[in-house]
Structure 1
Amino acid sequence: MSAVPTAAQIRQSFLDFFKEKQHTIVPSDNVGYTSRDGARIFTNAGMNQFVPIFLGERSADVDTWPGVLHKGLPTRAADTQKCIRAGGKHNDLEDVGLDTYHHTLFEMLGNWSFGDYFKKEAISWAWELVIERWKFPPTRVFATIYQPDKSKNDPAERDQEAWDIWAEKFRSIGLDPEIHIVNGNKKDNFWMMGDTGPCGPCTEIHIDLTPGPRDLDEERQRAGAKLVNGSDASCIEIWNNVFIQYNATPEGTFEPLPAKHVDTGMGFERVCSIIQGTKGFTDFENAKISNYDTDVFKPIFDELTKLSGKEYKSTLPKANEQGHVVPVSEQEKIDVAFRVIADHLRTLSFAIADGIQPGNSDRNYTLRRILRRAVKYGRTLEFKEPFFYKLVDVLAAQMGDVFPEVRTKKEQIKSVLKLEEESFNRTLDKGIALFEKAVSLASSNDTTPSKGSDGLTYSTKDGELIVSKKNADGSTTKMISGELAFRLYDQEGFPFDLTELMAREQGLGIDRATFNELMEEQRERARKAGEKNKQVVSVSEIETKAPTKFIGYDALEADVKVLEVVSMKDKTAVVLDVSTCYAEMGGQIGDAGQLILGANTYPINATTKVGNTWLHFLDGDEAPAVDSTVKLIVDAPRRHAIERHHTVTHILHWALHEVVSKDATQKGSSVTPDKLTFDFNSGALTAQQIADIERLVNERIVANEPVSWTEVPYVEAKANKGIMALFGEKYGDLVRVVQIGGQRNKLDGWSMELCGGTHTRSTGEIGLFRLVGESAVAAGVRRIEAIAGLEAYNAARADAELLKLLAGKVSAQGAADLEKKLEQILTQQKELEKALKAAQQREASTKARELMAKAVINNAIVVHLGDVDADYAVGVAEALKASFNGIVVLGATGGGSVALIASVAKEHQGKVQAGKIIQGIAPIVGGKGGGKPDFARGGGKDVSKVDAALAEARKLIGA
């Protein structure tokens, strides 16, 4: 690393270090995490994704992780994990912006051992990285070890082993371990997953950042040691190594684990702040140790400056008389806003990229609160129009190499943020005005008292409530009333913590108890209303409802009325009188979007139709009340991506006729935001035909010809030989003809088809077309897969970069870039393989249920599965083992060879064993095999004998 390394260099040096130590570098887990009690929370620590390994629920197979950068030992892993702490036990939200180190999203660097190395290696490598590789001044470094306080019933014994290892390291450079190793109690140095389960002592590394020289001045070192595990921010922990070696039992004992693990966590932003804030450890006198004064946040701050004209100057507010940290000067307010907005941008962008959107419940509502908090702070920077989403581009450019999902999902992130921001902006000004009116009242003596309870005297004026609370000393504290806080929340969309924040800035308290009572009353009303409004219905009942009027060809948002809230199995949907959402039909996927009612937003994840009734499926169980008027907004970027793919299917159909044959007729299609598929009857296409089709389609796109549609009588459309349609299908008296080229309503385009989908207004809007696949799907039926627009552009750009790297001789850096590109290709391949495997497992489970229903004879299932591979057969057998208590023998003949699988439940193993079955039947197909009593597999080459082999299996088991 350079003298003052960048954040990217620091992160990479950590990963490279553990790559050298034979660790597999695994990708960050999703920031959405489901806890073991089923609660949907956020990933708040690096160890979350490894919990099943620590509990022994699965093997340490980290070398099979999708997207690995390097294959090391399968029992060693290292990563940088995106963590969110903004709710539940770990909640830093209210502190963000007021200091230098709190975040709602941060990176946790970690290295892991699953029954492999333990304390000696973990501590030695921590020393090697921090002291020898990163060059932290050792006189400023302190280690903590576990020292139980037996008077408080602390578990286990002193971690003497860790002390001895650290002592050797400090002595090796002439430092006194008695000074540099600090004892810590259970709170500081003993980690537990829960009241029971894996646990163990931990050792932390702390850094003394106080000014002044150290050298070998033991008195200064002793002074630093006294700051360890204290509250002084000038001595902070950077790395925690947890040694999981005990199992906490329900009886309160701590038993040694058969396998010992290492679980570490290092705060990435904190390490960057120390290294960069001290200018590479060269200046502790003028050090600026702030996570926000690093290049982790600088690109976002620079973009905020461009957008707002304000400048970040690193000021920090101080605590007021009430102990609250409140910005006073204008610059303090600006700097707090910069920190809040930058932090919240990271949290929301990574969460949305990982599939979690702002919503009305649990972690989804936490995201909505975070976004609204950022938007409110945007007013400090004088933003009146949506601004937050504009920062996503710079974040994606900065972080996309490390977390590619934020780059690939960039447009989706921007779309979600913009919609949410626009929705909140509608009520933000009104809410602020109401709050400021209450503040004005609080400072006025012109009030009319009325009797309250619990020492509270309510004072009212113009319907706006404040509260005066009488203190024990006779003084009075003015507070924002719970009624006003609730009104701001319920009607104006203000999260309570935002109202509390504004009150604090004005030196006012807030009546939290009354707010909570009103919230509970609202929940009860909502519950009763939900029971009344929600109806469990059948498809036939839905078909009898009034038809939905679709206006989505011309509008993407509208004020609509909720006619019904229906529950279908585990899904909740609303029926509206009018809809701008396209309902899934004719191969085009249905729209997504949102319903807005006051402060509440209800995301729509799919739209389908039953008869003439549109069903808008919602995230979660909450829905707007029947008869309410709501604003319906379609997810526009998603819709436009679908329209590009749909319109280009018409051009593709035309090009097939030009290049292949007029008889190449459409047999089906699928249109999504990501791609299109088009099925047609034909033989396999040649490479030249594929190239010609792609060229013709792009020529028509570049011509930028108009796309229009008109309704005509069905008989007229059928008589027009230029109009393509599946005339065997059932149509109404009027049909919609989509034409490309020609004049609107003239039916003179070069492409004309009956189609009810949505389309671009011109071919030029499609942008670019790429044909990415052509294959067989059935006898005489081929399938083309293609992409258009931004998807095609991104693919073309990636290919161009790869070709550039491959052309001629490459430099050393080029070679490194080539390696990285190849790793990305391997990552994509692994993701595809993972998806295929998951689909295969689902299919295997379905097949298993089918066999249990139809193929059981005398507690046995003996079946030839057909032309499938061995992995599929094993999947079916595994699925059967979970619910079928009998004997299973399966044959498969995929790939020109035979796979034989046998599974025998325990109670049948006295009669017959799986290994014996395979040994008896595998020679029939010209092969061999064997295994354990409960499970065995084998195979051979003679596929013609598989039925004979299964017949022999039936004899062996008496089926």
Structure 2
Amino acid sequence: MTSAEIRNSFLDFFREQQHTIVPSASLMPQSPGLLFTNAGMNQFVPYFLGTDKAPYDPPRAADTQKCIRAGGKHNDLEDVGYDTYHHTMFEMLGNWSFGNYFKKEAIQWAWDLVVERWGLPAHRLHASVYAPKEGDPGNFDQEAYDLWAALFASKGCDPAVQIVHGNVKDNFWMMGETGPCGPCSELHVNLTPEGDPKTGRKLVNNDSDLCIEIWNLVFIQYNAEADGTFRELPAKHVDTGMGFERACSIIQNTKGFTDFSRKPSNYNTDVFRTIFHRIEELSGKKYVDIYPDLGADRTKFDDGMKDAIAFRVIADHLRTLSFSIADGIMPGNNGRNYVLRRILRRAVKYGRQLGFSGDKPLFDGLVSTLVAQMGDVFPELKDREAAIRETLNREENAFNLTLDRGLKRFGDGAVSLSEGAVFSGDLAFELYDTFGFPVDLTALLCSERGLKLDEDRFKALMEEQQVRSRAAQKTTVVRALEISTDAVTTMTGFDSDESEATVLELHPQEDALFVITDKTPFYAEMGGQAGDTGTLAINGNEYAVSAVQQIGKARAVAVPADASIAVGDTVTLKLDTTRRRPIEAHHSATHLLHWALHEVVSKDAAQQGSSVDENRLRFDFNSGAVTPEQLQTIEDKVNAKIAENGNVSWTEVPHASIKGRTDIMQFFGDKYGDTVRVVQIGGGNNSLDGYSMELCGGTHVRKTGEIGLFKIKSEGAIAAGVRRIEAVCGKAAETWLAEQEQLLIAEAEAATAKATVTLEKLKQLAIEAPLALAAAPATHELSALKAHLEHLKEVSIEAEKAFKKAQARAAAQQADAELAELIEAGKPIIRTFEADASLVQELLNGLKKKNFGEAAFFIVDDGEKLQLATYCGDVAQARGLKAGDLLRDLAALAGGKGGGKADQARGGAPEREKIAELEAAAKAKL
């Protein structure tokens, strides 16, 4: 059978047993504790927990689930390529019962499929059952033993030999410290040439590739309680998982279970052969299905073995990367994104063994092969093929530069070391910290040369760096976020501009008094939306609210430090609606822009960041270049929806009720609570049937007509694969258009003046040259210039867009180039540049768009003064660093000032001779 036939055979069998065949869940897990979806059961957890009811009739399901185990608890990365069966990405075939059938049916059907339908000889099959030791949960699984025993006996096999007792580690499954759990039966296949059951029995669960686990049947019958006891569940479930690649290996490598003379390999199947053939075409080398012995010295591998390992690593990693990107998980610097980046770099490194390099890319020629092979089963591969190819090419090109530099530095450090020597932990740290070279890649290079990496020294240096960061954190002056409170504030500002509230707490700070109330109409800056301002009134006094701060579940407003307010007072909080209304308009326009991008550019144009305030909106998204025609269409579509004056509404719903709805934008990587707020445009109020629907906590207009005219100011690249649109609406759009008109008039006047000078010169030439025709070109030139000016008036706005676009692109590309290696290293950044002041904001934008988690301090010497900027990402802020506070402290050292928010701040300083002092101070703080 081919792999496709094996997959279909499994699903068809369980379809016959009245199972609903469901699609694979995304590799982006629903559980925040997982890096990736790593088992078939992940998507069914709510049914096991009883929080949701299984929507199948009868409540049974079967599927093939794409899984990744590379990072975290389940990590097979380092074994990939060196044996026959480890992968980072694999398919898990499974059948499920949600309170329906149990052990009898699950065991009988497993036997019927594997033995009766596929034809695996019963004597080569070993079943393990749970046999706890003293102190382990549950009891011996006699029921499972008896069921298996009857089946083996029916084939003339000795149950005492074929059935193995398993311990709590191998044969008791738990979802977590508490929750659903139960015993399991694993099916192992004896792959020894002779097939002696007694030999196979000894190999079960002993890490031998001659006795492979193929299927695990989990019987969820207990609930692990917090006190350590196990309670019987009223509804019992079945959760099974069969390794698809292993099933293909055993069937295809044994000629349908008839020839076990050759050790089966997952890689010697049509699952991988198609990719190997393409790698052979691109590299000019041939794949040979050979493997090193367990524990073999990797420094002694010949080129043939190294080539074989490289083929397997590349094929496996191509699958992992492509499927992940198809599900919206991109290579990056943190968490699961960094795992993908490590996998990509590992593949690129092994690609060097086969002759791939910066001049001969690895992935570009392989993606289409994988898509053609698996796109019918997993259509997301077809839908996202262009995005997969573009992302892999970009990452590969960037890392090839890093790899060349890192390999050279590694080679310099290793050249004098003999086999068995210790590679310096200091140099490994330098490769990591300065060159952005992953330490696991350094460890791999050491292994290949027979060197021992001084991991203890490397870890010590990492800890020293963390200690410095913690010390810097202690010296940071933290202002409003230093406040701790258990108070809860109800947000009334979605529907009201004014609230009467009770003062719950007062928190005096150096330059303001922060007031926490039980209710508030004020929105605190979050999710890209600017915070509100307004007034607080009490006893005839009215105080300006200059800032709003979210503190846990409470919301505090900043009023003057000398305000006369006491806990328990009743106050009136009132929004500055002249500011709030345009903020709402820009925010709702952002949702319309997002919708229009999907309509015009691509459904894959996913949001990468946004910012809205009363003056403009900014929207970043992943995409290739957007044409001027597409931009005009987007603008027209948004304005058409504004003119419809459709409803804008919002409602809170249980997050579980909308999981899986692709028509409601839910952003990858965001953590949502049990209840979420859906903002919809169009459709009936709160009916979840709008043409635009997004999870959003911000404020919005009530009707699209309130947005006013929508105008795109600029569009351009801010990083590789990431674009930015800036736009304005309402009064801000009218103001911008008026400014453009004045610019047009000025340009027209300048052009007219230039034309006049040109005409005078032409006339002078006509006088000096005694040719009758000399006047004709002059007349013609004047006419052409006048026509050109008229044309300029008609298209000047488009010309301005093009100019702005080019200007923004140039600045962004410069910042992108400067930041590429620094961001990749993932460490705090301190850098000085001699450049125009415009570079400062683009540097900050570049960090923001790359979701840089650490802190940064930039000094840009523009020749007149120092332009300063600080940045603090999520990781830095978690350590207590705030960009605004850092900027104020550092700028003062050079006679300057400035400020900003927690994530970004800018300022200036006149004392240019203080650069070295500023750098030293920043290094101490960061």
**1:475-496 CA distance string (max 9 Å, x none):** x952111111111112222211
User: Deviations along 1:720-778, whole A, 9 cap, x unmatched?
Assistant: xxxxx9996652443599xxxx9996776999694589789xxxxxxxxxxxxxxxxxx
**Counterpart in the other structure of 2:22:** 26
- 3-state SS of 1:342 partner: helix
TM-aligned CA deviation for residue 319 of structure 1: 5.6
Q: For residues 804-819 of structure 1, what are the structure 2 equivalents within 5 Å?
A: none
User: Residue 181 in 1 paired to residue 163 in 2?
Assistant: yes
Task: Give yes or no for contact 1:143–1:182 (8 Å, CA) kept in 2.
Answer: yes
Which amino acid in the other structure matches residue 123 of structure 2?
A: T
- State the partner residue of 2:212: 236
Question: Cα 1:280–1:520, aligned 2, differ >3 Å: closer, same or farther?
Answer: same
Deviations 1:518-550 (A, max 9, x none): 22333455567789699999989x999xxxxxx
- Which residue number in structure 1 is paired with residue 130 of structure 2? 146
Report the equivalent of 1:248.
224
In structure 2, what is the Cα distance between the partners aligned to 1:116 and 1:732?
69
**TM-score normalised per structure 2:** 0.56
Counterpart of 1:92 in structure 2 is 76
Question: How does 1:90-169 map onto structure 2 within 5 Å?
Answer: 90-150=74-134, 153-169=135-151
State the 1:53 CA deviation: 1.8
Mapped partners of 2:464, 2:74: distance in 1: 28
Change in 2 beyond 3 A, CA 1:182/1:319:
closer
What is aligned with 1:302? 277
Alpha-carbon contact 1:93-1:104 (below 8 Å) kept = yes
Which residue of structure 2 lines up, in the alignment, with residue 194 of structure 1? 176
Cα–Cα, structure 1 residues 259 and 745, in superposed 2: closer, same or farther, change >3 Å?
farther
CA offset digits 1:828-847 (Å, max 9, x no partner): xxxxxxxxxxxxxxxxxxxx
> 2:322 maps to what in 1?
349
What corresponds to 1:171 in structure 2? 153
Distance between the aligned counterparts of 1:196 and 1:144, measured in 2? 24
CA distance in 2, matches of 1:373, 1:245: 42
Q: 8 Å contact 2:322–2:381 — kept in the other structure?
A: yes
SS at match of 2:344: helix
Q: Name the counterpart of 2:51.
A: 57
Deviation of the 1:111 alpha carbon? 0.6
Contact between 2:616 and 2:732, CA under 8 Å: does it hold in 1? Answer: no
Partner residue in 1 for 2:38: 44
How far does residue 308 in structure 1 lie from its aligned partner after superposition?
1.6
**CA distance in 2: counterparts of 1:613 and 1:528, whole angstroms:** 39
* 1:543–1:613 Cα contact (<8 Å) kept: no
CA 1:614–1:154 in structure 2 vs 1: closer, same or farther (change >3 Å)?
A: same
SS in 2 for 1:59: coil
Report SS of the residue matched to 1:47.
helix
Which residue pairs with 1:479 in the alignment?
422
TM-score normalised to the size of structure 1?
0.54
CA RMSD in angstroms, aligned pairs only: 4.7
Q: Which amino acid aligns with 1:173?
A: K
What is the match of residue 418 of structure 1?
A: 393
Instruction: Note the 1:601-616 alignment, pairs <5 A.
Output: 605-608=608-611
1:247 Cα shift?
Answer: 2.2
1:512 alignment counterpart: 455
The DSSP-based 3-state class of the residue aligned with 2:233 is strand
Is 2:413 the partner of 1:438?
yes
Residue identity in the other structure for 2:284 = G
CA distance in 2, matches of 1:327, 1:339: 19
The counterpart of 1:366, out of the listed 332, 336, 339, is 339
Secondary structure of the structure 1 residue equivalent to 2:234: strand
CA distance in 1, matches of 2:319, 2:550: 36
Pick from 607, 631, 640: which aligns with 1:646?
Answer: 631
Q: Is the contact made by 1:482 and 1:515 (CA closer than 8 Å) also made in structure 2?
A: yes
Please give the alpha-carbon distance, in whole angstroms, between the structure 2 residues aligned to 1:200 and 1:346.
33
Q: Which amino acid aligns with 2:264?
A: I
Aligned equivalent of 1:812? none
2:65 aligns to what SS in structure 1? strand
Structure 1: which amino acid aligns with 2:464?
A: E
Shift, 1:502, TM fit: 0.2
Alpha-carbon separation, structure 2, partners of 1:415 and 1:179? 54
Change in Cα spacing, 1:42 to 1:605, as seen in structure 2 (3 Å) is: same
* Conserved 8 A contact 1:646-1:758: no
Deviation at residue 188 of structure 1 after TM alignment: 2.1
Q: Counterparts of 2:789 and 2:304 in 1: how far apart (Å)?
A: 64
Alpha-carbon distance in structure 1 between the residues aligned to 2:356 and 2:72 = 31
Counterparts of 1:458-497 in structure 2, within 5 Å, are 478-497=421-440
Assess if the C-alpha contact under 8 Å between 2:424 and 2:453 holds in 1. Answer: yes
Q: 2 CA distance for matches of 1:229 and 1:435?
A: 39
Does the residue aligned with 2:54 lie in a helix, a strand or coil? coil
Structure 1, residues 411-469: CA drift from partner, whole Å, max 9, x if none?
112222222222212221011011111111224xxxxxxxxxxxxxxxxxxxxxxxxxx
> Any residues of structure 2 matched to 1:546-561 within 5 Å, and which?
none
SS at match of 1:407: helix
Pair 1:756–1:369, CA change in 2 (3 A): farther
Residue 313 (structure 1) aligns with: 288
Unaligned stretches of 5+ in structure 1? 64-71, 215-219, 444-475, 545-565, 571-582, 593-602, 618-633, 657-663, 669-673, 680-708, 711-724, 761-959
1:800-824 CA-partner distances (Å, limit 9, x unpaired)? xxxxxxxxxxxxxxxxxxxxxxxxx
The one-letter amino acid paired with 2:230 is: F
Q: Could you say what secondary structure the match of 2:100 adopts?
A: coil
Q: Which has the higher contact order (CA 8 A, sep 6+)?
A: 2
Letter of the 1:345 partner, please give it. L
Conserved in 1, the CA contact under 8 Å of 2:525 and 2:549? no
Aligned mates of 1:652, 1:253 — CA distance in 2: 61
Matched residues in 2 for 1:80 and 1:98: separation? Answer: 26
Does the 8 Å contact 1:83/1:106 carry over to 2? yes
1:382 aligns with 2:367: no
Deviation at 1:388, TM superposition (A): 2.0
- The offset of 1:241, in angstroms, is 0.5
Do 1:145 and 1:159's aligned partners in 2 also have CA atoms closer than 8 Å? yes
Query: Does the CA-based 8 Å contact 2:191-2:263 persist in structure 1?
Result: no
Deviation at 1:113, TM superposition (A): 0.7
Cα 1:440/1:589, change in 2 over 3 Å? same
**CA distance change for structure 1 residues 86 and 652 in 2, over 3 Å: closer, same or farther?**
closer
Q: How many residues align?
A: 587
Deviation string, structure 1 residues 314-354 (Cα, Å, up to 9, x no partner): 2223466xx65456111111111111111111111222222
* 1:203 match: 185
Over 3 Å counting, the alpha-carbon distance change for 1:751 and 1:58 in structure 2 is farther
Matched AA of 2:609: A
Mark the CA change 1:145 to 1:667 in structure 2 (over 3 Å): closer, same or farther.
Answer: closer
Counterpart pick for 1:405 among 380, 394, 398: 380
